[in-house]
Structure 1
Amino acid sequence: MARDAAFRYRTIDFVTVAMLGVAIGVAFWGWAQLYQVLSTLSAFAFPPSSGLFGGAWLLGGVIGGLVVRKPGAALLTEVVAASVEALLGNSWGLSTVISGTIQGFGVELVLAVFLWKRFGPLVAALAAAVAAAFESFYEWQVYYTDWALPYQLAHLGFFVVSGVVIAGFGGWALVRGLAATGALDAFGAGREHHERTAV
């Protein structure tokens, strides 16, 4: 019964998911503009290396999951963020929402394995890695159908590394930074910050 109460959404949870999703969605849109330049440059050297730029798009799910810490929060945050990016306009259109759903599901899967009880840097990194792998598999079917398997596997490797560094460890660091400002006092991350810094 106590577990059900812990998983029950409060109004502040819904508001936070929405606010994080919108803010991260705007950041996604900005990153998409830069990605168009960066991925073109990387394509001249080794096309699968474009996966190195994919980790930033996993931040919504990781941050949403680490902050709200309830089933569905990672998925909802990532989908809201992807929807905002699509509405602002990018070269992938509404397929961005499909990617957001896949990525958010990857994060949710890892948090579910840990029963939404562990939210440290290694869990965040693993969640980002799984989300990156899921998205890479999807992109093989949609964008890179002409690539041979070695190219696809290279893309997967680059994407996972990017996800672990940017969304995993980076997302975890961002949440800790937000907690230090007092912005997350209503959430587990905020309470953990106060416990760490208590004299």
Structure 2
Amino acid sequence: MKNKWVTKDIVTLAVIAVVFGLLGAGWGYIWNLAYAIPNIGAWFSSLISFPWFITPLLAFYLIRKPGAALYSQLLAGVVAILAGHPAGVVAFGWYVIQAVAVEVVFAIFRYKRWDMLPMLIAAEMCALEYAWGLFYFQIYNYGFAAWFWPWIAMFATAWMAAPLTIWLGKALAKTGLAGSSVKEIGGD
């Protein structure tokens, strides 16, 4: 794998980050509405959190270079804040932690695997960070629900994010959006 970034890689990363940054900002409002549902808000909002996990996974899947996951999630965080994410600048902390966690997973696999296993582990790392944040900030509001449901729902949603990312990556690769180091995306 060549580590040199070319213009196509940078443009691919920017497109992914901007699209999912805007989606992330809008999804924050949907998440808040789901969270406000009495009795089921904690787990239901957790269950629909997978769109925030897709950015770094998709960027690495399409670009396949060190830093792709990290840079895409950081840029998506900036875009989300500028687009009016309901959590404001606090959301950037979530984006940073998820970016680092996902990049570490791909580094452990030496940036040479982009099949389902590393994608699932990377999505689970996003879920772990996110579930911990929900637990930490909501334990006083939800008691046992904060101990149990967000963790279960977040890990379940990570299992939605990884397959969706691979499916989306294959579809986008057919359009020519895949980075310069990708010869062909087939049956990963």
TM-score bucket (shorter structure): 0.7 to 0.9
Q: 2:64 touches 2:179 (CA, 8 Å); kept in 1? A: no
Q: Could you give the per-residue CA deviations for residues 1-29 of structure 1, whole angstroms, max 9, x where no partner exists?
A: xx6xx123223322222221111111112
1:8 maps onto 2:4 in alignment: yes
Cα–Cα, structure 1 residues 28 and 49, in superposed 2: closer, same or farther, change >3 Å?
same
Q: 2:24 touches 2:85 (CA, 8 Å); kept in 1? A: no
Q: Within 5 A, what are the aligned runs for 1:60-99?
A: 60-99=55-94
Match of 1:26? 22
Cα–Cα, structure 1 residues 45 and 116, in superposed 2: closer, same or farther, change >3 Å?
same
Q: Could you give the per-residue CA deviations for residues 84-111 of structure 1, whole angstroms, max 9, x where no partner exists?
A: 1111112210011111111112211211
Higher helix share: 1
Q: 1:136 touches 1:155 (CA, 8 Å); kept in 2? A: yes
Distance of 1:154 and 1:34 partners within structure 2: 19
Distance of 1:124 and 1:24 partners within structure 2: 17
SS in structure 2 of the partner of residue 181 of structure 1? coil
Distance of 2:25 and 2:145 partners within structure 1: 30
Cα–Cα, structure 1 residues 135 and 35, in superposed 2: closer, same or farther, change >3 Å?
closer
1:59 maps onto 2:51 in alignment: no
Q: 2:12 touches 2:179 (CA, 8 Å); kept in 1? A: no
Distance of 1:39 and 1:91 partners within structure 2: 13
Instruction: For residue 148 of structure 1, report the CA deviation from its aligned partner.
Output: 4.2
Instruction: For residue 182 of structure 1, report the CA deviation from its aligned partner.
Output: 2.7
SS in structure 2 of the partner of residue 28 of structure 1? helix
Identical-residue share of aligned pairs (%)? 24
**Equivalent of 2:163, from 160, 169, 173?**
169
Instruction: For residue 117 of structure 1, report the CA deviation from its aligned partner.
Output: 0.4
More RCO (CA 8 Å, sep 6+): 2
Structure 1 residue ranges without an equivalent (≥5): none
Q: Could you give the per-residue CA deviations for residues 54-85 of structure 1, whole angstroms, max 9, x where no partner exists?
A: 21111111111111212221011111112111
Distance of 1:71 and 1:149 partners within structure 2: 40
1:184 maps onto 2:178 in alignment: yes
Structure 2 residue ranges without an equivalent (≥5): none
Instruction: Give the alignment's TM-score, normalised by structure 1.
Output: 0.83
Q: Within 5 A, what are the aligned runs for 1:104-115?
A: 104-115=99-110
Cα–Cα, structure 1 residues 7 and 144, in superposed 2: closer, same or farther, change >3 Å?
same
Distance of 2:22 and 2:43 partners within structure 1: 26
Q: 1:39 touches 1:53 (CA, 8 Å); kept in 2? A: no
Instruction: For residue 177 of structure 1, report the CA deviation from its aligned partner.
Output: 0.6
Distance of 2:62 and 2:156 partners within structure 1: 23
Distance of 2:151 and 2:175 partners within structure 1: 36
